[in-house]
Chain A
Amino acid sequence: MHMSDALVSPAVGAVMWLSSAGLIAWSARRVKQDLDERKVPLMGVMGAFVFAAQMINIAIPGTGSSGHLGGGLLLAVLLGPHAAFITLFSVLAVQALLFGDGGLLALGANAFNLGFFPCFLCYPLLYRTVVGSRTTRARIFTGALLAGVVGLQLGSLGVVAETSLSGLTDLPPLPFLLVMQPIHLAIGIVEGLATAAVLLFVTSAGIAVHEATGSRRTALVLLFAGLLLAGAVSLFASTRPDGLEWSIESVSSLASSVPPVSEGVSAEPAGALVQSATAIAGTLVTLLVAGLIAFALRRKAP
């Protein structure tokens, strides 16, 4: 599932954007190094392919509901992790810009949840380990299923962690996690099965799947760095309950010098009516003024 701008706090959005931007810059350099200009149109068209494949629904046996391909794992197998990450990022960017899915600030988080885990962890550590050098149908099936399930479990964990750290919802992290993980187990199984089905068909048609030597060492280093970062962030967040907000407040002196007059959470009952009436009256007038400005600036159709 996509993280949304409406759920993300500035600190979480910025941290996730920084991580994803780093991965993008690194991947872009790697892709440029081993390019193969042939890969330029291939990546582009494969991005469009993922979009198209997402429009085809697949029945989940025994439930009556349906799901569709995510595409991160399939791209990693077909293009290699670096090209796959950039391709998946482009898919997410187009989803955010053209369809409003996700959002500009949550794009970093989405690229991390849906791109980093399948491309840089599950593909080299699980899929390639299972499939190995002797490619058989059973191995492709097992590898895709395993990598698909683990990838979505990690992605879902990412969504829960980012949402909880952002603190805009009151959902307690643990019950939220207990709802999200089983849902994403089902989604992960569909992802694995769909990826396996496509890969098996393509292999049987005699198309060579990407012969990447996706570095397992790099994956382990990234995994270690990620765990370290997560540990540091959670330590920071727990020693300073509102540490993430605090770090933002201290940056923008504007915000801290003027205490935001919020909806009067701590207001005494007597003043509350006046305060809320003031806020509501002011809001209506603000909307009216904004509407008048927009009306005045309106450009008629030619």
Chain B
Amino acid sequence: MGALNQRGIDLGRTDRLAGQETPLHHLDPRAKLLVTVLFAATVVSFDKYALTAMVPLALFPMVVIATGRVPVGYLLRKVLLVSPFAVLLGLANPFLDRGVAVTFLDVPISGGWISFGSILLRFVLTVSAALLLVAVTGFQRLCAGMARLGVPEAVVVQLLFLYRYLFVLLAETQRLVRARSLRSAGPAAQSLASYGPMVGHLLLRTLARAQRIYQAMSCRGFDGHLRGEILPAWSGKETFFLLGWAAYFGLVRGYNLPYLLGQLLIGGW
């Protein structure tokens, strides 16, 4: 239930963050979506044992945090809440791949630890990029951007509806769960015998709600299409944003920047 509360509250916070007024927030959502996808693709395209070569990519989330005024604590908490399936799987690597890959200050480091570190870094980079995208764009505007990029209308409308009613239904479920736990004083999870009726009732109420929503929308002339959410026009700023980051990602992917920088520092040593 703690997790339920936390996630519910975080949703409202995400919306407030997305409502801020910064130049980054005002960019066309399409540009931000494309750069984020490009970023994730660049992260994923690195070699299994790439670790330090990927580090310069952290500049992108850092700049978004700074220019989009996203609190670092908020982001970290959300990253920590993500299910750690990938990290758990990656943890097997140090046990399986024991060949010494690097020796640093007489400490041998196996290939497994490096590839595990690589998975960890990929995890943090991709998760934070996705979370930041919504935090500086807002879900509704992001959906409008997707529609402009050619995502089928049925999918976009579906996403918008889901998001709108998510808050309502989560609050309702929270009340349901709280009422039950106050009465039962028992374990948090419940038996199958009570699960069916409880979720079933929630479903019945959901169906009734869908009916009411449909009636209300029909009264206002709904014909299967959603209108509104006027996007800013694509301008030079968007092109600059997109091409600038694309060039940076290409540079990082093509050259091992930290290594070149290190050579410069350490010189002929």
Contacts and interface: CB of A to CB of B under 8 A. Distances in A.
Size category of the A interface is 35 or more
Interface stretch (A44-52, A113-121, A122-130, A231-239): A44-52
A178 interface: no
B69 A105 contact: no
Interface string B115-141: 100111011001111110110000100
A282 B224 contact: no
Contact of A59 (B49, B153, B172, B189): B189
Contacts of B142: 97
Given A24-B155, A283-B55, A297-B63, A49 B202 contact: yes
Residue picked from B69, B96, B129, B162, most chain A C-beta under 10 Å: B162
Contact of A87 (B14, B66, B158, B177): B158
Contacts of B45: 10, 248, 252, 255
A145 B73 CA distance: 43
A126 to B, nearest CB: 21
Residue picked from A5, A48, A93, A257, most chain B C-beta under 10 Å: A48
Contacts of B214: 37-38, 40-42
B192 interface: yes
Interface residues of B, number: 136
Contacts of B211: 38
B195 A194 contact: yes
Interface string B147-178: 00000111101111111111011101110110
Contacts of A35: 224
Interface in B226-269: 250, 253-263, 265-266, 269
A197 interface: yes
Given A5-B122, A278-B263, A285-B262, A269 B103 contact: yes
Interface SS, B side: helix
A201 B218 CA distance: 30
A4 B127 CA distance: 9
Given A98-B134, A262-B47, 7 more contacts: A7-B90, A40-B157, A46-B206, A98-B139, A272-B103, A280-B52, A282-B262
Interface of A: 1-2, 4-10, 13, 24-25, 27-29, 31-32, 35, 37-38, 40-49, 51-53, 55-59, 61, 66, 69, 86-87, 89-91, 93-94, 96-101, 103-105, 163, 167-172, 193-194, 196-198, 200-202, 205, 207, 248, 252, 254-255, 257-258, 260-265, 267, 269, 272-283, 285-287, 290-291, 293-295, 297-299, 301-302
11 contacts: A10-B41, A40-B222, A52-B166, A163-B89, A198-B199, A201-B197, A252-B45, A262-B47, A264-B102, A283-B258, A299-B67
